[in-house]
Structure 1
């Protein structure tokens, strides 16, 4: 049975009753959110709750704040800044009766991306990814500086969006007594957006640790809806995640849940 011990900052995601967003471009905004390099400023708050973490079957609640900001280089290309800032609350993960709450390490990506798809309809972006050791507690941080390449390629056809985002990070500095970072992240994704701005999504967020020769493979199934609260356009969503594979006695097991709240700032 999954325990939902949500910390105080999860309460901030509870918002007042919604006013349905009936603008004609609501479905268009929903479809843009399926594109990691869309020309759209957004601030997603992604909440993950996982149980059975580690040998003591602990619980981890992870809130990822993930602002996406496109910066125009010229009439044809953008630089897309994507930041992942994690906030973690966990209990019984590092030891029975032990609890931690704090900030984790930031992952910062920059994608060079054309504003228009190719003639064949492909949308793509590539650039660097950086790992910043910003963790507030030792157990929430690798204490390593890292860098590597990142890229995304996708296609949008009618209501469908499908593609893959990937990166690889090597550490180049940090505490010598901490584990080396040599990890590949692969995220194939598929989504279907209706005329009512409802999006159904399926993805995996797989990581291969080359140092430990281990996979972590969560599979996420989500449903989300673009609407409006006052003058603020927002997308709400949620769903289930299943851990198809995790390292023994380290990762979560079985099922978890995910909630999403994304603030949109159409230009």
Structure 2
């Protein structure tokens, strides 16, 4: 399960899910937590940040994050993952209003083996594109850096980590330099009938921030279920995270509520 992660599912030659019933749900629940599963995913993830300072405000980010696996060679796939954020950013000064619009788009391209062993992995470049419709919603910089994901799935667990660090390479001279780390560990425990418990907090570090104000470290958990409506497979989840470590700077939030609905399109194994 990813947030970013909810939404990061890759392609591999894995056992195809059963056509219906509980086995179908169980296989899909395992697949949505697998970075190299034979699955196209289109998650819609809404993140509500509570207690945004100053003024105990609320920020909302809707991430549209399609993930599409593409065959590269006989042994490897390229997994394309795009996150398109639609934001409401409250004013961080004395105002009571806010700004609504498109934020910066992130795009990652993972090289991953089609037939992974016990350790499932992917590696590739991550890009941050200055697509924000207002300067308060983005960085104003073109940024790039490395990204890696690794995962194991001992029954009934899925345990892994995703990390990237992007650096600004060019953009507006009047905008701050970008040098930021994203680190997401994820732990899921699968239950019968497609249910699962999950924790996938998103740790971030802004290396350009003042000393002592660089890290945001949340803790929390949630629950989800894989289900079908008609013939459409879906994955829904709700989770909450408390930012135990956060910068004492404008824009820092105390809590985050995450609600996600993913549309799942399993890929059939070729014989």
Pick one of 158, 170, 173 that aligns with 1:173.
170
For structure 2, the residue ranges without an aligned partner over 5 or more in a row are 1-19
1:11-45 per-residue CA deviation (whole Å, 9 max, x = no partner) reads xxxxxxxxxx7352221111111123433100011
Is the alpha carbon distance of 1:146 and 1:218 closer, same or farther for their aligned partners in structure 2, counting shifts above 3 Å? same
**Using the alignment, how far apart are the partners of 2:64 and 2:36 within structure 1?**
17
Q: Which residue of 1 aligns with 2:128?
A: 131
**3-state SS of the aligned residue for 2:26?**
helix
**Using the alignment, how far apart are the partners of 1:26 and 1:150 within structure 2?**
30
Is 1:219 paired with 2:216? no
Q: Which residue of 1 aligns with 2:150?
A: 153
1:196-241 per-residue CA deviation (whole Å, 9 max, x = no partner) reads 1112111221111111141112234121111111221111110211
Contact 2:89 / 2:137 at 8 angstroms: preserved in 1?
Answer: no
**3-state SS of the aligned residue for 1:176?**
coil
**Using the alignment, how far apart are the partners of 1:94 and 1:139 within structure 2?**
12
Pairwise CA distance, 1:100: 0.9
For structure 1, the residue ranges without an aligned partner over 5 or more in a row are 1-20
Contact 2:22 / 2:194 at 8 angstroms: preserved in 1?
Answer: no
Is 1:266 paired with 2:263? no
1:58-115 per-residue CA deviation (whole Å, 9 max, x = no partner) reads 2101111111100011332111111111111133435421211111001100100001
TM-score under structure 1 length normalisation = 0.87
**3-state SS of the aligned residue for 2:161?**
strand
Which 4+ runs in 1 deviate beyond 4 A? none
